[in-house]
Structure 1
């Protein structure tokens, strides 16, 4: 994750996202760099419009949150039924234990 953060930091500063600059940011943060991960990041970002990717990523959580709301509501409706059945089971097991005490 820190490799991506380094690339985003360089991009927001208006600097070129290159191997040497990513390494410099990571080493300044005290992070040991892995040459293959840096190369993989630079290769993955080749031809990517970072501003466009950021704007798409910023819109995605809104869509996910909107889709998650009905699911959360359905789960909240099911929860009382589950809790009620658990309570009944606990009461039954408690009664069985009391029966053993009195023979």
Structure 2
């Protein structure tokens, strides 16, 4: 995770995400650098538009927070419908049906 944080720090400071820069940030943070991981992260992020990823992550986070807030209301509506179906016809409906037999 430290390698991603270092990459985000470099991105925020408008520096190139390169092996040397990643090593410098990680070393400054007191982290023992793994050259293989540094090379992999630098290569993987070369083709990634980090600004776009961050923008989409914010949008997804807002959607994830909003979705659970809406779900309970929908579930309550469905529960009411199911309860009404289980109860059968209401007393008014039964009375109306009986009245039509004698009317």
* TM superposition score category, shorter chain reference: 0.5 to 0.7
* Pair 1:43 & 2:20 matched: no
Counterpart of 1:12? Answer: 12
Alpha-carbon RMSD across the aligned residues, in angstroms, is 1.6
**Residue matched to 1:95:** none
Structure 1 residue aligned with 2:99: none
Bigger CA radius of gyration: 2
User: Is the aligned partner of 1:56 residue 2:53?
Assistant: no
1:32 — aligned with what?
Answer: 32
Q: TM-score, normalised by structure 2?
A: 0.65
**CA distance, structure 1, for counterparts of residue 43 and residue 7 of structure 2:** 12
Large movers: runs of 4+ above 6 Å: none
Structure 1 alignment gaps of length 5 or more: 75-103
* Aligned mates of 1:35, 1:7 — CA distance in 2: 15
- 1:63, distance to aligned residue in structure 2 (A): 0.8
Q: How many residues align?
A: 74
Which residue of structure 1 lines up, in the alignment, with residue 82 of structure 2? none
Alpha-carbon spacing, 1:33–1:72, altered in 2? closer, same or farther (3 Å): farther
Distance 2:70 2:28 in 1: 45
